């Protein structure tokens, strides 16, 4: 397993739509293992392939708590087939927007169909944190970030600060 570099906003790749995967093979499983290691190291509870620069519809999630046994979830070509009318609010962060958090309202439950690590078609109903996490990651596959739900003013301010942060990072590297 290799740890990959996480792409930070603003970056045009984060705004692109990811493509469906054709087949599940060992190469793809290797990529998913890399994504999981990258996510655990960050640390984060969800990561979409686009965040490491791969425009494929691929997500890894693990919402297990620190002391619990790891419980990774691999979602290939996930599709949300139901969203509840009732909503919930979580304070969301994102590995591509380091240091920024905002309360985002989303459907409290969702149902998805997807292909698993074993290449088999599956369905799952999620609620609570998992439902929010899935919707956040599926948004990534469609080029959407959680700051898109905020007012233009708030969003522009966060992007401006991230641009500054990136410039400072480059200065140190150079
Ligand atoms: Zn994210």
Task: Return the structure tokens found at 30.
Answer: 């290797």
Could you tell me the distance, in angstroms and rounded to a whole number, from the CA of residue 9 to the centre of ligand 1? 10
Quick one: pLDDT band at residue 165, thresholds 50, 70, 90?
A: confident
Q: What is the pLDDT of residues 117-160, one digit of tens each?
A: 999 999 999 999 999 999 999 999 999 999 999 999 999 999 99
Please state, rounded to an integer, the average pLDDT across all residues of the chain. 95
* d(C-alpha 76, C-alpha 79), whole Å: 9
pTM to 2 decimal places: 0.95
For the four alpha carbons of 95, 96, 99 and 104, in that order, the dihedral sign comes to negative
Could you tell me the distance, in angstroms and rounded to a whole number, from the CA of residue 172 to the centre of ligand 1? 25
* d(C-alpha 75, C-alpha 50), whole Å: 14
Could you tell me the distance, in angstroms and rounded to a whole number, from the CA of residue 124 to the centre of ligand 1? 21
Could you tell me the distance, in angstroms and rounded to a whole number, from the CA of residue 96 to the centre of ligand 1? 6
Which residues does the annotation mark as catalytic? 137
Higher pLDDT, 26 or 168: 26
pLDDT at 95: 97
Q: What is the pLDDT of residues 63-103, one digit of tens each?
A: 998 888 999 999 999 999 999 999 999 999 999 999 999 99
Could you tell me the distance, in angstroms and rounded to a whole number, from the CA of residue 16 to the centre of ligand 1? 14
């Amino acid at each position: 397993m290799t740890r990959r570099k996480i792409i930070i906003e603003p970056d045009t790749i984060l705004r692109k739509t990811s493509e469906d995967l054709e087949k599940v093979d060992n190469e793809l499983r290797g990529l998913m293992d890399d994504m999981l290691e990258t996510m655990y190291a960050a640390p984060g509870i969800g990561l979409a392939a686009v965040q490491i620069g791969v425009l494929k519809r691929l997500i890894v999630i693990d919402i297990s708590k620190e002391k619990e046994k790891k419980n990774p979830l691999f979602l290939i070509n996930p599709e949300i087939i139901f969203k509840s009318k009732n909503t919930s609010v979580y304070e969301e962060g994102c590995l591509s927007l380091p240091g920024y958090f905002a309360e985002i309202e989303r459907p409290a439950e969702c149902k998805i169909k997807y292909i698993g690590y074993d290449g088999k078609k599956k369905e799952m109903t999620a609620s609570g944190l998992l439902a929010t996490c899935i919707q956040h990651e599926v948004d990534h596959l469609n080029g959407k970030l959680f700051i898109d739900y905020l007012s233009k003013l708030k969003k522009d301010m966060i992007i401006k600060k991230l641009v500054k942060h990136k410039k400072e990072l480059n200065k140190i590297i150079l």
